[in-house]
Structure 1
Amino acid sequence: MKRLFFLGLLVLSVFLTTISCSEEQDFGQFDDLSVTPTLTSSIFYLESDEAFINSVNTTNVFYSQIFNFDAFTEQFVAERLLEGTISYEFENTTSKRLNIVIEFLDEAGNVLDVETFDVDSQPTLSSREVAYGPTGKSLDILINTSNLRVTASNLGDTTSVSSSSEPKITMGSAAEFLFRLK
């Protein structure tokens, strides 16, 4: 009799466990999935000492360089860009006032956007963030940019020297982009 009671109890337990834990599976959840990764990368770095800045005395331009920026050449990537932020950071320990211009160029060399920075003489540490997307400049600027032209000019004289042990200007830039993959 005990055996029959335990067998009945076991069958009842299995039955209740089966119906209580089962739920219809929804395999359409993938359609509701939203994946938005943020990618971070450095773009360029500039460093120049005061002796080099003083050695350029005809045009006052001591640095001019074009950097390749083909981050969005793939249509798949460009179509999924939601927003971006480019951060610039400067440190100037020279005795020079400087002007730094960053031009965003398309494949044909046309200027899409310009960022201008007037950097005070020593000691200066400054930063700026530029937003692209819904709360900033147009995303088309980033999507269509193929190159960045960086030009740095000395707005001071060519003889003064900073009292710092190693006077120089450093500039770095980094970018953070948000994409929607699904």
Structure 2
Amino acid sequence: MMKISSLCRPLWYIALLFAVSCAEEQDFDQFNNLSIIPEVSSSIFYFESDEGTINAAGGGTFYEQDFTFEAFNEPFVSERVVNGTITYQIENTTSKPIAASISFLDNAGTVLDTENFAIGEHPFPLLERQVAYGEGGKSLDILRNTTLIKVTGENLGDASSTSSERTPVIIIRSSATFSLELR
């Protein structure tokens, strides 16, 4: 009997320690406080025009095109976007100074916003511009309501000069990164 009681005594102490130890109550509702904000990146448009096409159009507008923009057509996306950045990159190896504009239009054709670019002739360094939307930037409603993006290129130079580059072109490309709050 003595052996059994001496073996039970340590178990009794361990049970007592568990009973009086500090234990925090578990909170299984933490999932409700979890915030998931992934970033989604995508190309928006790519435009390229060679110097011959620019010369053939003469002075003035040599390019104008509308691009469908459906990124925010789904309520799931438009209601959850927190912020975003659109990045524009422009390269010009032509002998022409170029004016470019990128306009954001809604369903009714109303211009919601425009980005204008003045691009010098070659040698012109790569131009990169980032435009923020959301907190600290332009209104997210611009993007939420955009259905078309209009890109226009205008020759500000003559219609005959040619660059010494092998294949002179102007390239305008854009991409976007958006943060969506899923919870």
Scaled by the length of structure 1, the TM-score of the pair is 0.87
CA contact (8 A) 1:86 1:129 kept: yes
Is 1:175 aligned to 2:165, yes or no?
A: no
Q: What SS does the corresponding residue of 1:27 show, helix, strand or coil?
A: coil
1:68/1:146 contact within 8 Å kept: yes
TM-superposition CA deviations, 1:27-67 (whole Å, max 9, x none): 1101211111121111011111111211112x632221111
Return the letter of the residue paired with 2:96.
K
Give the structure 2 partner of residue 89 of structure 1. Answer: 89
Cα separation, 1, equivalents of 2:42 and 2:115: 19
1:66 correspondence with 2:72: no
Q: Tell me the distance in 1 between the aligned counterparts of 2:67 and 2:22.
A: 60
Structure-1 separation of matches of 2:135 and 2:14: 57
Q: Deviation of residue 141 (structure 1)?
A: 0.5
Once superposed, what is the RMSD of the aligned Cα atoms? 2.2
Is 2:40 the partner of 1:44?
no
**1:1-182 → structure 2 map (5 Å cutoff):** 5=6, 9=10, 23-57=24-58, 60-124=60-124, 125-182=126-183
Tell me the distance in 2 between the aligned counterparts of 1:2 and 1:166: 97
CA distance in 2, matches of 1:142, 1:92: 28
Residue identity matched to 1:134: E
Whichever residue aligns with residue 146 of structure 1, its letter is T
Secondary structure of the 1:143 match is helix
User: How many residue pairs were aligned?
Assistant: 181
> TM-score, normalised to structure 2's length?
0.87
CA contact (8 A) 1:84 1:131 kept: yes
Provide the C-alpha distance between the structure 2 equivalents of 1:174 and 1:15, rounded to a whole number of angstroms: 64
Q: Cα distance 1:167–1:20, how it changes in 2: closer, same or farther (>3 A)?
A: farther
- Residues 10 and 95 (structure 1 numbering): CA distance in 2 closer, same or farther, change over 3 Å? same
The CA distance in 2 between the partners of 1:180 and 1:144, in whole Å, is 19
Q: Structure 1, residues 46-104: CA drift from partner, whole Å, max 9, x if none?
A: 111111211112x6322211111111112222122221111101010100000111110
Distance 1:179 1:4 in 2: 64
With over 3 angstroms needed to count, the CA separation of the structure-2 counterparts of 1:54 and 1:28, relative to structure 1, is same
Question: How big is the shift at 1:108?
Answer: 1.7
Deviation at 1:10, TM superposition (A): 6.0
What percent of counterpart residues are identical? Answer: 50
